[in-house]
């Protein structure tokens, strides 16, 4: 009996040690996973940031120096030997070479902002009403109509480009801001994205508002829109970035340099005879600033919107 009691006491003493070792192993494993995740995120961030950093430093060095130290890879691949703001002075029309080339990126930057903001405002106005119709109202064959709208997502722009230009020209909108804004009023992608947010809002709110005598437009403005702010900000950021980077349609619809957008002017620095890499890098760097600032300002809404989409998916 004494031997048995002694054996039981030894077993009881071993169990807490085993549990302690198990907890320590779990903590070490979790710490290792956290470190591995941090390293992985850092590597992925560097992969995306390295081209951007090289572009920024490339815009601040002499034209002949941009590709001179590209291979083998060294510090001077990124870090300039001779710093200069010549390329920024050229694209802003502050130098003799920039004046000869007719460059004024400040005006083109404003044009891009006007067009992108105009598209976002009108797109939200029309697409929000369309999404509200499909998500909240009852209508015969509504799903068939929604399917027809979504099918247009698969139609390439090259197919509709010529008919769209004919319509714009028939309306006397060519070579104007409206030529770059009006064709993007309706967006099947924005409608589809907003439908997902609107469907998640309780229908009891609509019913209560209807009982109080509110109209559908009043419900949309005072009930649905305030509750869908993260979704509206998310699609606005995506739409703004899409229009900001648009190149092909502005190139076709507008010939006046005074109202041309930034992306077209940046591409004009590549000709059959020469490519002005410094000006291209400087213009691309300036074009990135507004998008980055707007995203940082609205980041919390964007994250909430993406998180809500993930939950519903």
Last residue of a domain, one of 58, 87, 116: 87
Number of domains comprising the chain? 2
| pTM for the structure as a whole | 0.81
pLDDT tens-place values along the chain, 313 residues long: 444 455 455 555 444 554 545 777 778 888 888 889 999 999 998 898 888 899 999 999 998 888 888 888 888 888 888 899 999 999 998 888 888 888 899 999 999 999 999 999 999 999 999 999 998 888 888 889 889 888 988 888 888 899 999 999 999 998 999 999 999 988 899 999 899 889 888 888 888 988 888 888 889 998 899 888 888 988 999 999 999 999 999 999 998 888 999 999 999 888 888 889 999 999 999 999 888 898 888 877 767 665 555 444 4
Domain span at 294? 104-312
Look up the CATH number of the domain holding residue 206. 1.10.3720.10
Does 66 share its domain with 144?
no
Classify residue 160: in a domain, yes or no: yes
Judgement on whether residues 9 and 109 belong to the same structural domain of the protein? no
Residue 96 in any domain: the answer is no
Q: What string of DSSP letters covers the chain?
A: -HHHHHHHHHHHHHHHHHHHHHHHHHHHHHHHHHHHHHHHHHHHHHHHHHHHHHHHHHTTB-GGGTTTT-SS--GGGTS-SSB--HHHHHHTT-SHHHHHTT--HHHHHHHHHHHHHHHHHHHHHHHHHHHHHHHH---TTHHHHHHHHHHGGGS-HHHHHHHHHHHHHHTT-TTSHHHHHGGGS--HHHHHHHHHHHHTS-THHHHHHHHTT--HHHHIIIIIHHHTHHHHHHHHHHHHHHHHT--HHHHHH---GGG--HHHHHHTTB-SS-B-HHHHHHHHHHHHHHHHHHHHHTHHHHHHHHHHHHHH-
Q: Based on the fold, state whether residues 302 and 233 are members of the same structural domain.
A: yes
Domain co-membership, 16 together with 149: no
Residue 98, domain member (yes or no): no
């Amino acid at each position: 009996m004494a031997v048995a009691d002694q054996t039981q006491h030894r077993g009881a003493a071993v169990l807490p040690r085993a549990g302690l070792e198990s907890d320590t192993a779990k903590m070490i494993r979790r710490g290792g996973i956290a470190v591995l995740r941090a390293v992985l995120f850092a590597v992925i961030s560097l992969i995306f940031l390295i081209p951007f950093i090289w572009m920024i430093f490339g815009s601040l060095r002499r034209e002949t120096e941009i590709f001179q130290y590209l291979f083998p890879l060294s510090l001077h691949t990124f870090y300039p030997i001779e710093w200069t703001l010549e390329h920024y002075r050229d694209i802003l029309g502050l130098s003799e070479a920039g004046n000869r080339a007719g460059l004024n990126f400040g005006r083109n930057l404003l044009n891009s902002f006007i067009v992108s903001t105009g598209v976002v405002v009108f797109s939200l106005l029309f697409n929000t009403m369309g999404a509200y119709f499909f998500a909240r109202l009852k209508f015969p064959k509504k799903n068939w109509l929604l399917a027809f709208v979504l099918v247009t997502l698969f139609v390439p722009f090259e197919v509709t480009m010529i008919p769209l230009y004919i319509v714009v020209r028939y309306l006397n909108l060519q070579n104007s801001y409206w030529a770059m804004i009006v064709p993007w009023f309706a967006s099947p992608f924005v409608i589809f994205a907003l439908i997902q947010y609107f469907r998640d809002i309780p229908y009891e709110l609509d019913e209560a508002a209807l009982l109080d005598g509110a109209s559908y437009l009043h419900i949309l403005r005072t009930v649905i829109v305030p509750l869908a702010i993260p979704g509206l900000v998310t699609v606005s950021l995506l739409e703004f970035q899409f229009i900001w980077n648009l190149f092909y349609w502005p190139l076709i619809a507008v010939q006046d340099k005074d109202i041309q957008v930034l992306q077209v002017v940046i591409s004009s620095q590549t000709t059959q005879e020469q490519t002005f890499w410094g000006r291209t890098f400087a213009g691309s760097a300036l074009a990135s600033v507004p998008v980055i600032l707007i995203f940082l300002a609205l980041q919390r809404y964007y994250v909430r919107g993406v998180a809500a989409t993930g939950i519903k998916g």
